[in-house]
Structure 1
Amino acid sequence: MRRRTLLGLGALGALGLWAARPTDHGRPHDAYFKDLNQLLQRDGGGIPQLIIDLDRLDANADLLATRLGPRPLRLVAKSLASGGLLEYLARRLNCSRFMAFHQPQLNQLVRLFPGADLLLGKPLPAAAALAFYQQLPHHLGFEPSRQVTWLVDSPQRLQAYAELGRGLGQPLQIALEIDIGLARGGFPTPEALGSALQQMAASPSTLQLRGLMGYDAQVAHAPFWVGRERALVESNARYQAFIQVAQASRLWPKSPLLNGGGSQTYPLHANGKGPLNEVAVGSALLKPAGFDSDLLHEHQPALWIATPVLKVLDGALPYLKGAQGVLQGWNPNRQRAHYLYGGNWQATPTSPAGLAYDHLYGRSANQERLVGSDATGLAVDDWVFLRPTHSEGTLGEFADLRLLRRRSLVGRWNPLGLA
């Protein structure tokens, strides 16, 4: 009797385990991606594409403009690394301020926008700043002493830039980076900032103070025991404490630059409160997958990687072909293996639904393998769509950017290069 009871319990346990197996997540392309699949079959050239949906980009830009109101915007070039894209957004948002993070691209921005106001988003070695001046075209009327603001994060870099300015024989405009809670460098306390200002004032220098820059990305990811509201209050209070120290210096300008924010936190600064007089935004306009959050829930994904399917095979694994029936019986999402043109992108498979990287097989930059069920309906020469995790770096992986407008491909933009 005891044996029969145990056998019965074992059978029930096995049935329960089988009932808990993965369900079939496969679905064909929805209407949006079905149309895009057909477009690319006609005009995709058979190679991976990076696609920007201009209608969604417009909606994101208009939402950003509405939220910021009259508060000045600075476009972040590293996340929007295309001359065409930056020009388009600069016109739509009436923006002539850009943030750069890479010396060669800084020189490119000068050529693209000779009337722009350029701010460095990270402190560069003095050697990189020197290279900027050495490569600067002189026929555009660009005035670096007025139009470029270098970021300085320490007394050592302050000294290096002072020496660079003297060597160049021209003034360098600087902003001082302050740590308002992110713990990623910059002057750590108001007292440290005050010492830096005394350092500048104590000796003749070619450095001109423009203002402060503080990045508050930590606010968007505040742990539950802190909470976002408290984190924002603390971050703004730290920023204000730095301002109070800076205002006591004779070097403090009449109209200082007080830069901050970012795509993750810009909605928190959109009410006009807080210390900032300028907000930097980039990724929110394309909304890659790494920027899915409740703060950006009204923004729409506007960037896709599209790539053709080269092969559709059963989902068998090397050395485990005999177990394929069991594997796909347990998990129907392993019924088919789809090999793509290219791969190893930092991106999430998006359409058809139910596709996933095969971590048992491994990743590939040549023929990426995605597993899925028969329900996806994918065939050879169909297209798969992936959503990049970040736009930063991704735009430069493609020769050009395809533009989608009202479900038609309407043009191309080139990415900014590294040279």
Structure 2
Amino acid sequence: MARYQFLIGASSSGSGKTTLTIGLLRAFKNRGLQVQPFKCGPDYIDTKFHELAAGKPSINLDLFLSSQEHVKQLYSTYTSGCDIALTEGVMGLFDGFDKWQGSGAHIAEVLDIPIILVLTPKSMAYSVAPILYGFKNFHKNISIAGVIFNMVNSDSHYRFLQDACNDVGIPALGRLPKNNDLEIPSRHLGLSIDSNLLLDEFAEKAGNFMEQHLPIDEILEMTRKSLTSPVLSKENAVSHRKVLKSAVATDEAFAFYYHENIEYLKKRGTVTFFSPMHDQELPDADFIYLPGGYPELYPDKLSENTSMLESIRRYVEQGGRLLAECGGMMYLSSCIADKTGKEYPMVNIFKQKASMEAMKLTLGYRQFTSNGICVKGHEFHYSSVSGNEESFITQYNAKGIPVDTKLLRYKNAIAGYTHIYWAEMDDLMRLFH
């Protein structure tokens, strides 16, 4: 079990959680410490940033997508053998899918780990005192280990903030001045070698910045956990009735998947990775997974690879099992239209147009029941689809309200915008029954 464990929380999105997390991960790594990153919630982009900063896959901890037992089991498994376990929260500290359920505070309570707050006290000084008091006392089962103030440029401003911390009884753990060089690179970079180098450069800058301005040793000392033998929750039994040969799309256009989903497939059998952009045909498999990503950034290359398009069409027409999520679903459409409206032919399994015109954000948890199993996932996209009014099943949000998002099926191909979390399922293949 990790010697040091904590969760980075904030008052709201945009407070600097991700930059702070990336910077601390790299600072710890540069000190030669083994650091394991986690992400509270369903985000599959921040986890990529974490992995580049820490050198280890970041693991999602989500209390809507999975049970408390599953979250505890993941945390125990991945903190074994490392020095530091650092979890990035989601939105504001108490923002969950139902009041505070599923929030960063909820995760901290379930895992019994302390919280370090990051606050941006713009146009505010001693008035942070009642804010800090609220965070400290709102829920008795969480512990605020300290607070880091972001975008604080002067020592005089920081002294007011320190006074507030002293009166509330929360340690002040330093200030971070505004730094225009620490702007997280666009999330729409894709995952090319160039973008990875850019993100690595950002992580290095962030790590040096944290070392320069924060008391790293003090942060570690305040988050030290007593070393006890980890108690692993019982791992969900995976059905092994038949060895499953899985093939997972992974390249610049397709890379957004939950780490534990792939681990699940490995437990079921073999996993082969392939590239819809660069490979000529599908590998031998009896289950194909097309995850989300940025196909809209590479529509020309995807469209030009006609042998792969035909290979996937042939696989589906022959009854092969295929799951496509978000970008994967766009790839199975008749075409993808870029921002200008230019259309690029795609696999053409689903007779619809996927478009980046008139982009609009759609996001939220999703759930549905199929063949007697409850399926949960998350939707996050700016694109839209048109021309296909069919949906083989109704999806609901976290509160059980029906949503308009379609879930499509043709033979044994299932597709939709929802990124499904199946790592706790008994048998994913029951979806195709």
> Normalized against structure 2, the TM-score is what?
0.34
* Structure with larger Rg: 1
> Normalized against structure 1, the TM-score is what?
0.35
Q: Whose helix proportion is higher, 1 or 2?
A: 1
